[in-house]
Amino acid sequence: MNERLFLMRILLNSRLPQSHTMRILGMALFFTFGCGVLTLTAQSEYTVLPGDTFSRIARANGLALAELQEANPTITELSPGDRILIPQRPEPAAVHLPGTGGMWHTVEAGETLYSIGKLYQVPVKELERHNPDASTGLSIGDVLVIRPESLTEKNEVSWHAADSLHSRPSLPRLNQDTLRALIMLPFMLDADTIEGGVYDAKTTRLREISLEFLHGAEWAAAMLSDSGYAVCLRVMDTDPDSLGVNDWRETDLAWADVVLGPLRREPLDSVNSLLATSGTPQWILTPQNPIVWDKHPLAFTLDPVPEVGMRRLGQKAALAHPGDTVLLLETRGKDVRMEEAFKSGFESACTSEAVLRSIPANTQFCEGLIAELDTSKLNVIAVPAGKPAQSLIAYIQTELQLADSFPVQLYGNADARQFEFLEHRFLERAHWTMPVSQGTRWSDVEVAQQVQAYRDAYRTDPSLYALVACDALLESAKWLELPWPVPASVFCHPEWVWDSAKKRWMNHRWGIEKFDAGGWVEAQ
């Protein structure tokens, strides 16, 4: 592992031509994990790699074992470096049911429900629903209904479409045994240098972030490999070379089962638009403004929907304070959606006589707050606004520290965890409570061992970028639907919920924590 890290750092800091460097880097990744088949669907020849078998190559290319062996009759045993032929099937003609508008397909040798679904961009469960007997096995000459009349005319079926017209769409499914992940990051291997051969600060940081994302993906691939999964990583530099030529091609996108990145906006838009028509899932690794959801319905992010967390915080406040008055400080500014979400959650859970009273505020202070407090009872205060209202939160801390005779309970935004000016004694006194979605579960022995493996490999703790890339790849492995368990998520623990308004799967995972005994603990 240390030798691999050393090799990658040399490559990423070398002056080799970009295409050479990325080719060597890709080979290093493959030999590290010793898993996966590099499927070159656009070619008829394939070079055998260590660990390849006829069976694995056939599965990776959607072929029957007999078909692959018949195409290479002189080769009985495979050795690394052998070149074998991959037979190419002609695209099937879409046959329509006369007078109905439906579509059917006649099964040929070596075809499976997955390969047929891929050809017609129809999910396997959709094929099974229209052909109940097909789930028990296919025979040559079987006739399958691909799309009945109602679905064909409305064009509502695709690889990632609904399992039925009356149910929500399913998460992606990969009916195969190898996960091919394309990692697209701005390594900037051909970036110009200033005098002395030193990269400027921005370029240096981007390269560091890219390496951290790559380490996270490697980390996940190693964990999956140890759990019995086959993972193949292909790494691409998204920044063009000195002539303005990009190293990645559409064939790279076609090869991938899932794409991680890109990070920078221009290549992100290009890749996102191409993937939107292919049905290949994509992980957007960093927040984008404006976000690019409208271009690709299978673009995922581990970042949770913030309004969901604030709504759950409002529900918690209503249930925890029956009969009390909760003072809601409303700025009506950039975080107005968070304030509305808190009110919505509070009202939905308020079955007692709890009252939510709004007090006008701005992002700097809340005039008259102290006058609203009562020394004889617990004063419950909610501040749903986050980063735009840092000055307001600092003001509240100052005022309540001066008025230390008032018992208080504060409900705040998750952003407050990043505010360095908040003092522990204030958080403790205010029993500061907020939503939280991410965090490493140190009590989980498996997670602790996973983090230690990263430390052993890279001699440092995983950064946020490494954690995101790791958990994104672990989530992708769940789409393989194999019988082996996927290693536990290290930092992000998504709860996928179908958003009918955005027409996509969104992460709704939020818990509630409060500051107690010098640290954050789960709120009971």
Q: What CATH number is attached to the domain comprising 52?
A: 3.10.350.10
- The token duo for 269 is 């838009």
Distance of alpha carbon 383 from its chain centroid, rounded?
30
Burial zone of 36 (CB within 10 Å; 0-12 exposed, 13-18 middle, 19+ buried): buried
- The token duo for 249 is 């091609």
pLDDT at 295: 78
Verify that 203 and 327 share a domain, yes or no.
no
H-type helices in 140-262, by residue range? Answer: 149-154, 201-226, 250-255
- The token duo for 307 is 């309004």
pLDDT at 292: 67
Total structural domains within the chain: 3
pLDDT at 27: 41
Verify that 445 and 299 share a domain, yes or no.
yes
Report the Cα–Cα distance between both ends of the chain, in Å, rounded: 42
Q: Is residue 166 part of a domain?
A: no
pLDDT at 211: 96
The pTM assigned to this predicted structure is 0.68
Residues forming beta bridges with residue 299, ordered by sequence position: 282
Verify that 319 and 383 share a domain, yes or no.
yes
Check if the beta carbon of residue 474 is closer than 8 Å to that of residue 173.
Answer: no
CATH of the domain at 25: 3.40.50.2300
Of the residues 157, 188, 205, which one is the last residue of a structural domain?
A: 157
Q: How far apart are CA 306 and CA 310, in angstroms?
A: 6
Verify that 410 and 359 share a domain, yes or no.
yes
pLDDT at 191: 67
Q: Is residue 240 part of a domain?
A: yes
Verify that 151 and 179 share a domain, yes or no.
no
Q: Is residue 363 part of a domain?
A: yes
Domain limits at 375? 306-436+511-522
pLDDT at 494: 93
Q: Is residue 312 part of a domain?
A: yes
Q: Is residue 504 part of a domain?
A: no
Burial zone of 430 (CB within 10 Å; 0-12 exposed, 13-18 middle, 19+ buried): buried
Q: How far apart are CA 183 and CA 238, in angstroms?
A: 9
Q: Is residue 167 part of a domain?
A: no
Q: What is the pLDDT along the chain (524 residues), one digit of tens a residue?
A: 444 444 444 444 444 444 444 444 444 444 344 343 333 333 478 888 887 888 778 767 767 677 788 888 888 888 888 889 888 755 444 444 444 445 778 787 667 887 787 777 777 777 887 887 777 778 777 778 887 644 333 332 333 333 333 345 688 988 888 999 999 999 987 766 555 667 788 888 999 999 999 999 999 999 999 999 999 999 999 988 877 888 888 899 999 999 999 998 889 988 988 898 888 999 999 887 666 667 788 999 999 999 999 999 999 999 999 889 999 999 999 999 999 999 999 998 887 677 899 999 998 989 889 999 999 999 999 999 999 999 999 999 999 999 888 999 999 999 999 999 999 999 999 999 999 998 888 888 889 999 999 999 999 999 999 999 999 999 999 999 888 889 999 999 999 998 888 888 999 999 999 999 888 988 87
With the C-alpha atoms ordered 439, 444, 450, 452, is the resulting torsion angle positive or negative?
A: positive
Verify that 180 and 237 share a domain, yes or no.
yes
Of the residues 101, 127, 157, which one is the last residue of a structural domain?
A: 157
With the C-alpha atoms ordered 146, 149, 152, 155, is the resulting torsion angle positive or negative?
A: negative
pLDDT at 462: 96
Verify that 423 and 345 share a domain, yes or no.
yes
Q: How far apart are CA 328 and CA 346, in angstroms?
A: 11
The reply to whether omega before 281 is within 30° of 0 (cis) is: no
Distance of alpha carbon 452 from its chain centroid, rounded?
23
Verify that 337 and 408 share a domain, yes or no.
yes
Q: How far apart are CA 150 and CA 169, in angstroms?
A: 17
Verify that 322 and 194 share a domain, yes or no.
no
Query: How many angstroms separate the Cα of 59 from the Cα of each of 39, 52, 86, 348?
Result: 10, 11, 12, 51
Verify that 300 and 319 share a domain, yes or no.
no
Phi, psi for residue 4 in degrees, rounded to 5? -65, -45
Q: Is residue 378 part of a domain?
A: yes
- The token duo for 396 is 């509240």
Q: Is residue 124 part of a domain?
A: yes
Helix (H, G, I), strand (E, B) or coil at 59: helix
Q: How far apart are CA 289 and CA 334, in angstroms?
A: 14
Verify that 226 and 372 share a domain, yes or no.
no
H-type helices in 78-200, by residue range? Answer: 113-120, 124-130, 149-154
Phi, psi for residue 111 in degrees, rounded to 5? -80, 145
Burial of 123-135, coded b for 16+ CB within 10 Å and e otherwise, reads: bbbbbeebbeebe
Verify that 388 and 448 share a domain, yes or no.
no
Check if the beta carbon of residue 184 is closer than 8 Å to that of residue 214.
Answer: no
CA-based nearest residue to 284, from 272, 268, 298, 301: 301
- The token duo for 499 is 């958003």
Of the residues 125, 157, 189, which one is the last residue of a structural domain?
A: 157
